[in-house]
Amino acid sequence: MLQLPESILLSGFGPFGPHHSNPSGLIARALHNSRIGSFLIRGLELDVDWLLAERQLKAALIQHPQIRAVLLCGLADTNTIRIESRARNLAGGQPDNRGYCQSGRLDERGADSYSTNISIADLLAIQHSTSLPVCESSDAGAYLCNAAYYYIRNRHPGLPAVFIHLPARSEQELTVIVESALNIIAGLIAPQKAPGP
């Protein structure tokens, strides 16, 4: 039987609201089926849809049991790359691309929040050579970015996972964001120190 390679799931989102281009979805598509070391990158552009996004993540993890870590990406109004340290059990009521709104707790039986199981300090150290500033954040928002992050940490607690928010950039500037994403993926597959309290 053919043995499939271990892989990393790289997710992003499509355009939404006033954003006609979303760098997170663009890099997920750009890096799909590329390799970093012995790992295959499986890129997944999620729909900006409260119901579909979770189903798409669930389907990807079922379809590809060789996934060993997850890097989730999204777009934020920021000038920096933000490495999000936690996901909250919260939906803020903002409508998705279909106009559907979700508010309140994402999972009635889930914890109020989950921290990443990746060392943020290690990821920040890896990023020092990139031309975009990088910082740690503890607020992934209350929209689909946070919801996707919460789903992974809630339903797949043993899977190394972290979320990054990307600044809006033109397609010509995507190489810088791709470089940052690859650096973080390298950090995901490297031997990890336990994150701090």
Q: Are strands 39-46 and 35-36 parallel, antiparallel or unpaired?
A: antiparallel
Whether the per-residue pLDDT at 196 is higher than 60: the answer is: no
First to last CA, the chain: 43
Res 179: pLDDT: 84
What's the predicted TM-score (pTM) here? 0.91
Which is higher by pLDDT, 188 or 196? 188
The predicted pLDDT at position 103 comes to 97
Task: Give mean pLDDT, residues 4-8.
Answer: 88
pLDDT digits (tens, 9 = 90+) for 33-46: 999 989 999 999 99
* Within-domain flag for 175: yes
Query: 100 exposed, middle or buried (CB, 10 Å; 0-12, 13-18, 19+)?
Result: exposed
Residue 172 is predicted with a pLDDT of 54
How many separate domains does the chain show? Answer: 1
Average of per-residue pLDDT values in the chain: 90
Query: Token digits for 48?
Result: 């900006």
The pLDDT value given to residue 178? 86
Which tens digits make up the pLDDT trace of 87-144? 999 999 999 999 999 999 999 999 999 999 999 999 988 876 667 788 999 999 999 9
Report yes or no on 2 lying in a domain.
no
According to the model, what pLDDT value does residue 59 have?
A: 98
Residue 174: predicted pLDDT: 79
**Residue 48 sits in which domain range?**
7-189
More confident residue, 71 or 196: 71
Say if 18 falls within a structural domain.
yes
* Stretch 45-61: mean pLDDT: 98
DSSP state of 16: B
Q: Which tens digit of pLDDT belongs to each residue from 9-27?
A: 999 999 998 888 899 999 9
102 is a domain residue: yes
Residue 39: per-residue pLDDT: 94
pLDDT tens digits, residue range 162-194? 999 998 876 657 787 888 888 888 888 875 444
Length of the chain equals 197
| CATH code of 38's domain | 3.40.630.20
pLDDT at 2: 53
